[in-house]
């Protein structure tokens, strides 16, 4: 079991280099923020369009099928399950109103009104003329209303947009590019005397530390599996003690790795991030980046035109 390769979410694809890889990381980060913010106060049409755009971007970028098939398949299945569950659950508006008058008095009032008014057929309501139905499906215990269906579409598309947009960004952007883009976009904050370089360095070390954490977890799980522990004989209390020992050992190993990383930086003469800056990438806006910015402006224009919730 290799956790670094078996987890389908958040891995960087080194080869092949698609056109998404070649875009400036700052442009891709702004696109990611646009996907995550245009969802707010948007109608369901726009939310579905976001899902379609993410799928089309994956296909147009010619990312290998073996990379996105498992990720997108499981995520679409999960979102469809959320859609079905929310659609068939009560929407909270199924309230049965009780008449203010008793049944006999109510019948008398209706009789008096019918006697005082001429016998003309009641006009059809606008909803009946237009064929409007609030309850879309009602058979047995399953009842789907317009509100529950809209809520299901909203929540399911939100999950897909949040998870897959971030996953697509991490899939096509290296760790050093992400930190370089964040540092470049945070440069105006230097006027407020914020330690932008220190924050970027901390983020870089955190991202580099994640594979070490996964490796330690993998090694500890393998060590537990090789001992062939009979969990049924241990019982709940014994199993908790074993996993507490594993967690304690994991914490010790992680602290040791962090100490080794700090010692390596000290040996190399590291004193401050400002004096030991390493330029991993040369951030320059090219022709493809300017085209992506122009499409982003059009993207926001369409969002304001048809995507606003009424």
> Domain boundaries in the chain?
9-93+132-173+286-310, 195-270
Instruction: Give 85-129 pLDDT, tens digit per residue.
Output: 988 887 765 555 455 655 565 566 556 666 555 555 555 544 444
Q: How big is the chain, counted in residues?
A: 310
Residue pointed to by tokens 């980060």: 29
Beta strands in the chain, from DSSP E residues, in sequence order: 135-139, 142-145
* pLDDT greater at residue 233 or residue 28: 28
Give the per-residue pLDDT at 195: 81
Output the CA–CA distances (angstroms, integers) from residue 168 to 54, 141, 184, in the order listed.
Answer: 8, 39, 21
Residue pointed to by tokens 């994956």: 58
pLDDT at 1 over 90: no
User: pTM for this one?
Assistant: 0.72
Report, as an integer, the average pLDDT of 30-38: 92
Give the per-residue pLDDT at 276: 62
Give the per-residue pLDDT at 56: 93
Paired with 137 in beta bridges are: 144
* pLDDT greater at residue 112 or residue 255: 255
pLDDT at 134 over 70: yes
CB count, 10 Å around CB of 288?
Answer: 14
pLDDT at 42 over 90: no
* pLDDT greater at residue 99 or residue 259: 259
**Long-range interactions of 243-251: CB distance < 8 A, separation 24+:** 246/220, 249/220, 250/216, 250/217, 250/220
* Confidence bin at 31 (pLDDT 50/70/90): very high
Average pLDDT, the chain: 79
Instruction: Give 60-92 pLDDT, tens digit per residue.
Output: 988 888 888 877 888 899 999 999 998 888 776
Instruction: Give 193-248 pLDDT, tens digit per residue.
Output: 888 877 887 777 777 777 778 788 888 888 888 887 777 777 888 888 888 888 88
Give the per-residue pLDDT at 67: 80
Helix residue ranges, H only, 119-230: 126-129, 146-172, 175-185, 196-226
Instruction: Give 263-304 pLDDT, tens digit per residue.
Output: 887 787 776 666 666 566 677 888 888 999 999 999 999 999
CA distance 115 to 98: 25
What SS3 state is found at 194? coil
């Amino acid at each position: 079991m290799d956790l670094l390769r078996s987890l389908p979410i958040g891995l960087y694809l080194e080869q092949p280099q698609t056109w998404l890889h070649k875009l400036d990381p700052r442009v891709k980060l702004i696109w990611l923020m646009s996907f995550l913010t245009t969802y707010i106060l948007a109608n369901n049409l726009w939310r579905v369009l976001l899902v379609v755009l993410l799928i089309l971007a994956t296909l147009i970028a010619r990312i290998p099928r073996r990379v996105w098939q498992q990720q997108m398949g499981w995520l679409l299945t999960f979102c469809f399950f959320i859609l079905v569950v929310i659609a068939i659950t009560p929407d909270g508006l199924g309230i049965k109103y009780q008449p203010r008058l008793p049944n006999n008095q109510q019948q008398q009032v209706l009789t008096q009104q019918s006697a005082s008014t001429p016998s003309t057929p009641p006009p059809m309501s606008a909803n009946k003329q237009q064929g409007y139905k609030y309850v879309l499906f009602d058979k047995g215990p399953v009842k789907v209303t317009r509100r529950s269906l809209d809520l299901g579409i909203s929540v399911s598309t939100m999950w897909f947009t949040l998870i897959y947009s971030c996953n697509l960004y991490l899939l096509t952007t290296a760790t050093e590019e992400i930190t370089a883009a964040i540092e470049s976009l945070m440069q105006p904050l230097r006027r407020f005397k914020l330690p932008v370089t220190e924050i970027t360095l901390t983020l870089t070390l955190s991202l580099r530390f994640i594979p070490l954490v996964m490796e330690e977890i993998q090694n500890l799980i393998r060590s537990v599996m090789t001992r062939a522990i009979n969990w049924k004989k241990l019982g709940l209390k014994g199993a908790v003690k074993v996993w507490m020992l594993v967690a304690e050992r994991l914490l010790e190993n992680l602290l040791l790795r962090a100490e080794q990383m700090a010692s390596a930086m000290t040996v190399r003469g590291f004193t401050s991030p400002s004096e030991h800056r390493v330029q991993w990438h040369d951030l320059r806006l090219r022709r493809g980046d300017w085209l992506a910015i122009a499409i982003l402006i059009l993207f926001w224009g369409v969002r304001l035109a048809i995507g606003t919730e009424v």
